């Protein structure tokens, strides 16, 4: 086999129920077999996953390693890939028919695009329900302005694993990925691509399976998974901010993109697991200055003297219980009459998490 144009990288861990479907979906694409390779990185599975993948050799190369998490799997896999383009897939998801042809055609039409993303089918194993998730139209995203950064955040879910195809140069810029990212390790890859520009297709081209063994929290009642998810995403956003600055992205663009979800996850961790009062203070002041670029003097005093003092006096869990009560009682509307914030149009940092990206 000559050097492939494309590499399909499948990362897997204890996916014996799903891995065959993932591998077969990559093999049965209509893209010329001679033009792409399939590499499966097994991150120390203790079930039959390696045995199942082994059935597909030599068409599929299996790399086995000790368990270390998603970032370590990506790092090990990238060292073995030969393609100029890399398409990612989790071992419990699967490609739709025509996926590889569609993304490669899109890259061919837009040499300036560093990556291609697209819609997907969200499949819930417990209910057998399938939802189609697609953008309203094809989009080109680039982290160039705060407005573009906010749009990129909303569209980030169309660059999750299974929907993410990148040019090799993107990976060369950021590898190795810090192995603290046991999951959410695709975040630095997709965000690096967005600094150069990505095309989002309005087609559903892979199946994203939600099941009980997902590492990423999909069950709102599972407090431990929610805690672990928030902890890992906080770590990921902490890495993204300096990474974007080093890539030459303007500070105001970095703030517009990183601050809202980062603050969300820090708050979630402090509320669930506690932490230092100083971290709570810094988080709330970061949120304030991200949301209000030109605050009125009364509101500035209110934030520092009332909210700031509360963060330093109360343990984080108590502070966020009080904050939730304050928000629920809609007392902010009364405070707004006394100390208006003067929020500038477009300055609002929405307190919402990044769309789910990994499992």
For 141-179, what is each residue's pLDDT tens digit?
999 999 999 999 999 999 999 999 999 999 999 999 999
Question: What whole-number distance in Å separates Cα of residue 89 and Cα of residue 92?
Answer: 8
Q: Are 137 and 110 in contact (CB under 8 A)?
A: no
Write down the domain spans for the chain: 6-213, 224-338
Give me the pLDDT at residue 212, please.
Answer: 65
Model pLDDT for residues 211-270, shown as the tens digit of each residue: 766 655 445 566 676 777 778 888 888 899 999 999 999 999 999 999 998 898 899 889
Three-state secondary structure of 27-78: HCCCCCHHHEEEEEEEECCCCCHHHHHHCCCCCEEEEEECCCCHHHHHHHHH
Q: 350 falls in which pLDDT band (50, 70, 90)? A: very low
Span 108-112, mean pLDDT? 95
Model pLDDT for residues 85-94, shown as the tens digit of each residue: 999 999 999 9
Instruction: Quote the percentage of the chain above a pLDDT of 90.
Output: 70
What mean pLDDT is reported for the chain? 88
Span 69-86, mean pLDDT? 95
* C-alpha dihedral sign at 118, 124, 128, 130: negative
**At the top level of CATH, which class does the domain 6-213 belong to?**
alpha beta
pLDDT above 70 for 324: yes
E strand map for the chain = 6-12, 36-43, 60-65, 85-90, 94-95, 115-124, 129-133, 139-141, 165-167, 198-210
Which two tokens mark 80? 């073995």
Residue 109 Cα distances to 5, 114, 141, 193, angstroms? 15, 12, 16, 17
Question: What whole-number distance in Å separates Cα of residue 124 and Cα of residue 345?
Answer: 38
Model pLDDT for residues 176-215, shown as the tens digit of each residue: 999 988 888 999 999 999 999 999 999 999 999 987 666 5
3-state secondary structure of 177: coil
Instruction: Provide the pairing of β-strand 115-124 with 129-133.
Output: antiparallel
Helices within 160-212 (DSSP H only): 168-174, 186-196
Question: What whole-number distance in Å separates Cα of residue 126 and Cα of residue 210?
Answer: 8
Torsion of CA 262, 230, 206, 38, to 10 degrees: 100
3-state secondary structure of 145: coil
Angle of helix 251-273 relative to helix 277-291, nearest 10 degrees, comes to 140
pLDDT above 90 for 316: yes
Helix (H) and strand (E) counts for the chain? 14, 10
Which two tokens mark 31? 């893209």
């Amino acid at each position: 086999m000559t050097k492939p144009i494309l590499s399909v990288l499948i990362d897997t861990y204890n996916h014996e129920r799903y891995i065959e479907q993932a591998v077969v979906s990559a093999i049965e694409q209509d893209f010329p077999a001679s033009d792409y390779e399939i590499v499966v990185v097994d991150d120390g599975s203790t079930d039959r996953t390696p045995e199942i993948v082994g059935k597909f050799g030599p068409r599929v190369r299996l790399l086995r390693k000790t368990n270390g998490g998603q970032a370590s799997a990506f790092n090990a896999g990238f060292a073995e890939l030969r393609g100029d383009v890399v398409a990612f897939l989790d071992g419990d998801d699967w490609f739709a028919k025509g996926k590889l042809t569609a993304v490669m055609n899109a890259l061919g039409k837009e040499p300036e695009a560093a990556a291609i993303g697209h819609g997907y089918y969200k499949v819930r194993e417990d209910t057998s329900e399938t939802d189609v998730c697609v953008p309203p139209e094809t989009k080109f995203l680039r982290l160039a302005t705060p407005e573009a950064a906010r749009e990129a955040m909303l569209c980030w879910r169309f660059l999750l694993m299974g929907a993410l195809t990148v040019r090799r140069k993107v990976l060369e810029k950021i590898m190795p990925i810090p192995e603290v990212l046991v999951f959410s390790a695709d975040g630095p890859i997709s965000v690096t691509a967005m600094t150069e520009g990505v095309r989002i297709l309005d087609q559903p081209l892979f199946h994203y399976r939600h099941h009980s063994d997902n590492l990423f929290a999909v069950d709102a009642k599972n407090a431990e998974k929610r805690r672990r998810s928030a902890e890992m995403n906080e770590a990921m956003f902490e890495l993204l901010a300096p990474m974007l600055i080093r890539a030459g992205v303007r500070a105001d663009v970095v703030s517009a993109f990183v601050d809202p979800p980062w603050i969300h996850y820090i708050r979630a961790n402090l509320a669930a697991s506690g932490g230092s009062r100083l971290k709570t203070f810094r988080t709330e002041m970061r949120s304030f200055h991200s949301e209000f670029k030109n605050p009125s003097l009364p509101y500035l005093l209110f934030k520092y003297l009332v909210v700031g003092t509360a963060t330093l006096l109360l343990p984080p869990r108590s502070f966020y219980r009080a904050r939730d009560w304050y928000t629920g009682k809609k007392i902010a509307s009364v405070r707004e009459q006394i100390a208006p914030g003067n929020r500038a149009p477009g300055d609002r940092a929405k307190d919402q998490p990044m769309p789910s990206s990994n499992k």
